[in-house]
Structure 1
Amino acid sequence: MTEMMQALEQGDLALIDQLLELFLTKELPEDIYTLAEIFMQYGYMKEADRVLEHLQFLMPEEAQLKIDRANVLMELGDEDGALDLLLEVDETAQEYPQALLVLADYYQMQGLFEVAEIRINEALAILPEEPLLHFAKAELLFETGRFLEAARLYEELYEQHREFAGVNLVERLAEVYRAGAAYELALDYYSKALEDEVKPDVLFGAAYSAFQSQKYEMAIQQLEELKELDPDYFSAYLLLAQSYAMLEDNPKAYTAIQEGLKRDEYDKSLYLFAGKMALKNSLPEEAEQHLREAIALDPEYMEAVLALIAIFGQQERHEDVIELFETLQQNDFEWSALYPFAAAAYENLELYDRAYEFYRLAYNDFKEDATFLEKYVYFLVEEGKRLEAKEVLEQLLRIQPGEPAWQELLETLEFE
């Protein structure tokens, strides 16, 4: 065994293979099984499978060997072989609940979550007090978005265990409550976890939960600490900027997002928020540049496109609106949300036929938008399209009944 351990530590596969042949023929089954466990521990799954296959040949009815080998085969990507072995475990075997748990893992890996839960419940019916089964079910519920059910099971485990199966239950409870939008509860558990050890992910989770709980000063404090601990924790910068923005400290928000851009120049959401903060700080040129960077990273980034078009509209840069819109069209990006902007820009440039085309296209999606309908009505009236103006005006009155100005205009159109 000493030689084998040295070969393992050196990663000498040829020597391992040579020693293994001798080991399997000379050693007792219990020592061979110990070697299989060592192989699994060191990540030598092919060698572990070879050992377990040999033991299966010697003891074909041994349920534990089938379960262990199934685990190894799943690690090796042979799910079908693993399934065959697990289904061979007899229901009367003491190890049957363990086989059910591994089966649940198999089905969970396949995305068959309902079948996985059935298997865990079968095991729980046999061993209702087994903590490992409760933990497995909690993990499955967490993965499938049933956060409150998962939290209940984690809470029960936490009463007896601070850590389980290598998982810190305080951190896990914080994560599950955060995922379920129970941010105050999540923050309580994150605070407990931070008392034990300050880790970047825990700090960020705490800051996010504080932000969602409208505790912006706390979020800022934790994010600043996170930056000191790990300056390359990119997600911290956007949340930090958002926290300052919620406190209406726009200069600090803009500074924070600029720091983030220095760390990560390929995150489009950072450029978008930088654009918004630049506007808040009365820096329209910088805002435009940030938004153009966001669109360069993702030409289909609708929020950035709309923000940039809004800037052009405010500055009455109608040609720029059209240029951006037509560039998107050339790239086969047809967004009805942009049609009202295009229609207004063409109208301002006195390209009335094009304006009419896009007003009509926009009408289907903006029938409930009073601001759009008002512009469309006046455009139609100016263009002498009285019947169409009357139709749009009637729609406007349906969503804003009793508006005197609209009623008066409708009566005028009907009279004409």
Structure 2
Amino acid sequence: MIAGLVVVVVLVLLASIILFRSVALIPQAEAAVIERLGRYTKTVSGQLTLLIPFVDRIRARVDLREQVVSFPPQPVITEDNLTLSIDTVVYFQVTVPQSAVYEINDYIIGVEQLATTTLRNVVGGMTLEETLTSRDSINAQLRGVLDEATGRWGLRVARVELKSIMPPPSIQESMEKQMKADREKRAMILTAEGQRESSIKTAEGNKQSQILSAEGAKQAAILAAEADRQSRILSAQGERAAQYLYAQGEAKSIEKVFAAIKAGKPTPELLAYQYLQKLPEMAAGEGNSVWVVPSDFGSALQGFAKSFGAQGDDGVFRYESSDHDVPPTVDDSDVEDWFDLASDPKVAQAVAEAEAVARKPVAEPLTSRSQSSAPETVLGGRDRGYPDADQGEISPGEDTDRT
């Protein structure tokens, strides 16, 4: 009874073992290399596989996904004899599982060693500066060599990246000093450039300010000269009219005096008396110290009376008016406009235009001002708005003709 039970248990265990070894479940993205009696039979992936117990066996299971392997830092000597510590990252994928199993013992170790040797060959022909600035070139060379070498292993190398490049501490310190010096140099250059630009802008501003000041001074000088000219012309016109009036008044005064004298019929005694009254005034000058009265003074007065008077019954010469003593008439028609108190419209227009130019704000660009400054420098030109001789301005020659 017990012996039969033991036999049943043994048969059940044997059946379980046989069933377990006869069925294999291979998941997706994984491949199983199957051998029969020690020889490669097939590769299965993502399915349920039946095996012949004790005849078939799964030699290896291979991950078909892209794998990322980071290798520890490796010492590499550059062309300028500097030792760098470089660690790499390789992205690869198994494309032929049976080759990865049968062509190489451990494809990960093979990839690592191949990457190390290739890295030393590539970096050994570069200097430190080239190594630090040629990461893409190094990555491309490593990928090309590894992909070609691992093709027979059933691998496809997708990418190779240099994770870090660590130079010796002394070189790092020197690089930091050099970087600091370069940054200070760039900062000094930028500061100098800023100062130069600032100086240029300041000089340009001063130049424009001086030009505008000169333009303003020029306009002020032109307006002052124009005002002085107009003032002189008006003053000359006023002085001319005043002299004419003064002369006319003197003439009228002399005419009235002589008319009064003739109306009063003066005698030689009266003339002598008036003459004697004027003698002290004539001798009142500071330089008049001696006066001599001529001895024939009476005869001179008598001849003077005879010249414009007639002798009466009493023997005294008296003035007698005649019908021909008519005061002369003066024609003032040619000088009537001298005494017109109204302002000359041409002069008023010139002054108004000059004031308009002076009040005009200066806001034009420097280039346009320099281009338009040539015609504006002519005193009295039409571009300035000042009346000239062609526009009816009163010139000194015209003033002489009008006088």
Give the TM interval when normalised to the shorter protein: under 0.3
Higher relative contact order (CA 8 A, sep 6+): 2
TM-score (structure 1 length as normaliser): 0.15
Instruction: From the two aligned structures, give the one with the greater strand fraction.
Output: 2
Tell me which structure has the larger Cα radius of gyration. 2
